[in-house]
Every structure is written in structure tokens, then in C-alpha cells.
Structure 1
Amino acid sequence: MENLPAPPVFAGEDYGFWLSKMMTYLNAYDLWNTIEKGYTPPKGELPHDTSVSHIKKLKEEKTKNFKALTFLHFAVSNTLFPRIVSAKSAKEAWDTLKEVFQGSERTKAIRVLHLRRQFSNLKMKESEEVKDYISKLMEILNQMKIFGEDFTDKEIVERLLISLPEKFDSKIAFMEESRDLAKLTVTELIGSLQAYEQRLMKRT
């Protein structure tokens, strides 16, 4: 048997992050399609004229299903395992977890609205370091991506610039005069802010 790394284990918290990790894990072993399509075993005996290629395909689908289901069994804690133990297919187990921990479309919409509000209202404190503030901001963005929300570099740069405290005003003014902010990437802005912060710290 292949020497596979263990899948990420879900214990009932941070479902969105586990979902993202598990999707990548299953894709790595060409099993995500099995989750999406599902698996239904053929009923009764196969007709005598069934082609060899079709039999081979059915066998491959069955193998992939139980391989994905095995991964899911190992990817949940012992307390959550009873929720999926009776599932006959990987898709059934996956959908059960999704229904319980992600909730309905209405719940999802409320969560996205809450994250958008957090993103819009987030402000960096005077005493806060750039790296800590960026970490907080990126955590919100990553959670939103899990729910299908996405942002361009331009949108993130704008949000960052208007949420900075007064001590960065001169830096922002200089950047506005010296370069096209519409072409500024998030990585470039973060690097520039951290360098400016270090200069401020040396002065004080």
C-alpha cells in the first residue's frame, strides 16, 4: 500500500479551514471527483455482454470511493466518527459533515455578511504592529474565500490604506505621489509598511 501522509483531522472546530485542507488532500490523490459525483454500486448482476473496459471502470470507481471514505474516516476525531460511520459512500459522509458544520445556505449567507462587516470595520490600532494587523486581516479574508468570496489586490490594498492609524499618514501621502496605487500589490504594500514601521521604531 502507498505510504500516504495522514489527512488533516477535524474535531468539530474551524470547519472551513479543515474543508479547504481536505479538498486539497483529496485532489492530491485524484479523489475529489469521487466526492463531487458520488458513487452508486451497480444493482444485481452485470449483463453478460458488459465490456471489459466498463467492468474496469466500475471497479475503479468502487476503489476510489472506498479509498476516499477511508480517508474521511481517518480525518475526523473519534467523537465525530459516529456521524459518518453508516455512510456507504464518501460523498454521503462528506455531505453529512457539511450539513452539520457549515449549515444551510441562509446560515452561510449570514456568516459571509458578518465577515464582510468585520473586513469593512477592521482598523489598525496605534500600538499594533503591522505583522499582527496583517495576520488578523488575512484570517478574515481566508475565511471569506472558503465561502466563495474573493478580493483583488486593489481592493485589499485600498482597505489596508484606509484602515491604517495616523502615524502612517506621511507614508501613504508619499506613496500616493510617487506611484500608481492601483498597480500596487498586497505583498509590496506590506513590505513597504513594515520597513517604514521599523524606521519609526528606531527613531523612538
Structure 2
Amino acid sequence: MANSTSSSFPIPIFYGNNYDFWSIKMTTFLMAQDLWDIVEKGYEAPPEGASVSKDQLQKDARALYFIQQALSETVFPRIIGARTAKEAWDILREEFQGSGKVRIIRLQTLRRDFENSKMKNYETVQEYCGKLKELVNQMRAYGDGITDQRVVEKILVSLTKKYNSIVTTIEGTKDLTTLSVSELIGSLEAHEKRLMAQDEDSVESVFQSKVNIRSHQTKNGGRSSWKKKGKLSTLWYLQENKSFGEGLLV
């Protein structure tokens, strides 16, 4: 029964990085095997004169086995001398999670990165928000209680200028205390698609205008036909300013 249960839950492997994420997954795995208590607390102290029960010894051995199997070949040597599951777990936590002081320093670094984050002109909504969400997940793994509302507010104030109109609309029509991060990202991505469609229409318009210029010049034998009352027409202006839309014509 135990074997069939464990086989249905793949053991998360730890390669030496992202310990906090791995420890959450591994804790859940051990809970599913009914082994977390013995990893967290170790043996229950037996009555005076009694020895640890066989059942506890077996549970501890199973828990230690799963922890060993969850480690890569480069990480496993750290716990090779551990004789109990709790001992192995504590060794890993001490080395890879660090002391309370180390965790505070790491969390401060993550918070600073979060506060300084700003969307780059070349980034899409998905790319920028994905990067921000990864920072938030790491902060939470280190014990930060950052709320979704704070994440929503951060996204809204750190987007590029081309999103100003949708930001104003969202701030004026949505309740930011209840707006979810996923809902906000969905609205921003929809706006982003509209902007991309408008850009494509603008490029197509410029392309068609320059095609018309060439066609008209060919029919009328040159550029002079585009002069009107001493002023250049819009299309003649486009032709003279080749840098505008340059590259659209082969």
C-alpha cells in the first residue's frame, strides 16, 4: 500500500538551489505519506525504561529514505552521516535555508528588487509581470506577508507610459482591494493586444501611402505633380522624409 501510494507522488528532487520551494514540495510529499510529524518532531520520548516502538522506527526509516531519494548526487553527501529523518532535515535546512539573520538579509534584497522593479520598453506584460510574480513568490517563501493588493498597486505604477490610459481606467473603475493579480494581468494583456493591432494598422497605412506615391510618380512622370500651391502634400512629405517608415519598401 505504501509503495503504491508513494509511486503516485513523484519525489521532488533538490539540486542545491531554490531550497525554500523544494522544502514546501517535500513537506507536502511527506505529509501525503503520513511521515511529516516524525521528520518535524523526531521520535516521541518513550516512557522511562521503554524503548522506541518498532512502528516509529519504521516510519523514521521510510522518511529518511524519501529524503535521501529526493537529493541529487551533489547534495546527498551533506546528510550521509544522518541516522534519523529529523537529523537529515535539520542539516539541509541549516545549510541551505540559513540562519534567521541570513534569511532576513535575503528577504531585504528581494524586497529592494521588488520596489525597484520597472517595466522595460521591450518587455511584454507577460514577461514583466512574470518576473515580478517570481520575486513575490520568493519573498513569501522567506516569510514576507506581501498582499495581492500591494502587487497590483506595484504593477500599476511601474508600467511604461503606453499603458497610462488603461491604468487610469482600472484605477477609476476597479476596486484595487479586491482586484486579483491574474485579473489585472488579463486586462493589461488585452490592452497590449489592442496596441499591437493599432501599430500594425499604422505600419500598413504608411506602407500603402508609399506604394501610392511611387505609383502616382510613375503615372505623372516625377515628383512635381505632388506640389500643391507651393506646399508639399502629406504624401510628398512622406516621400521626402525617407526615414519615416524606412525599410517598408524593398
TM range (shorter): 0.7 to 0.9
Contact 1:8 1:22 survives alignment (8 Å): yes
The answer to whether structure 1 residue 142 and structure 2 residue 137 are counterparts is: yes
Q: CA distance change for structure 1 residues 39 and 173 in 2, over 3 Å: closer, same or farther?
A: same
Contact 1:35 1:91 survives alignment (8 Å): yes
The answer to whether structure 1 residue 33 and structure 2 residue 53 are counterparts is: no
Measured against aligned partners, the alpha-carbon deviations of 1:9-49 in whole angstroms (never above 9, x if no partner) come to 112122222112111211222222122111268599638xx
Contact 1:39 1:89 survives alignment (8 Å): no
1:68 alignment partner in structure 2: 63
Which sits farther off after the overlay, 22-31 or 128-137? 22-31
Aligned letter for 1:116? R
Find the structure with the greater CA-based Rg: 2
Work out the CA distance in 2 between the residues paired with 1:168 and 1:122.
16
Q: Structure 1 length as normaliser, TM-score? A: 0.87
Following superposition, the deviation at residue 108 of structure 1 comes to 0.7
The answer to whether structure 1 residue 172 and structure 2 residue 167 are counterparts is: yes
1:87 alignment partner in structure 2: 82
Q: CA distance change for structure 1 residues 176 and 82 in 2, over 3 Å: closer, same or farther?
A: closer
Work out the CA distance in 1 between the residues paired with 2:72 and 2:35.
21
Aligned letter for 2:19? Y
Tell me, what secondary structure is at the counterpart of 2:3?
coil
Contact 1:41 1:62 survives alignment (8 Å): no
Measured against aligned partners, the alpha-carbon deviations of 1:40-63 in whole angstroms (never above 9, x if no partner) come to 68599638xxxxxxx8xx333222
The answer to whether structure 1 residue 190 and structure 2 residue 185 are counterparts is: yes
* Higher RCO, Cα 8 Å, sep 6+: 1
The answer to whether structure 1 residue 23 and structure 2 residue 27 are counterparts is: yes
Aligned letter for 1:35? V
1:152 alignment partner in structure 2: 147
Which sits farther off after the overlay, 128-137 or 38-47? 38-47
Match of 1:131 among 126, 136, 139: 126
Which sits farther off after the overlay, 63-72 or 1-10? 1-10
Aligned letter for 1:105? G
Identity %: 46
Aligned letter for 2:159? L
User: What are the ranges of 5 or more consecutive residues in structure 2 without an aligned counterpart?
Assistant: 200-250
Which sits farther off after the overlay, 65-74 or 29-38? 29-38
Aligned length: 195
Q: Structure 2 length as normaliser, TM-score? A: 0.72
1:12 alignment partner in structure 2: 16
The answer to whether structure 1 residue 161 and structure 2 residue 162 are counterparts is: no
Work out the CA distance in 2 between the residues paired with 1:176 and 1:11.
43
Q: CA distance change for structure 1 residues 90 and 202 in 2, over 3 Å: closer, same or farther?
A: same
Which sits farther off after the overlay, 24-33 or 93-102? 24-33
2:101 alignment partner in structure 1: 106
Measured against aligned partners, the alpha-carbon deviations of 1:106-139 in whole angstroms (never above 9, x if no partner) come to 1111000000001111111122111111111111
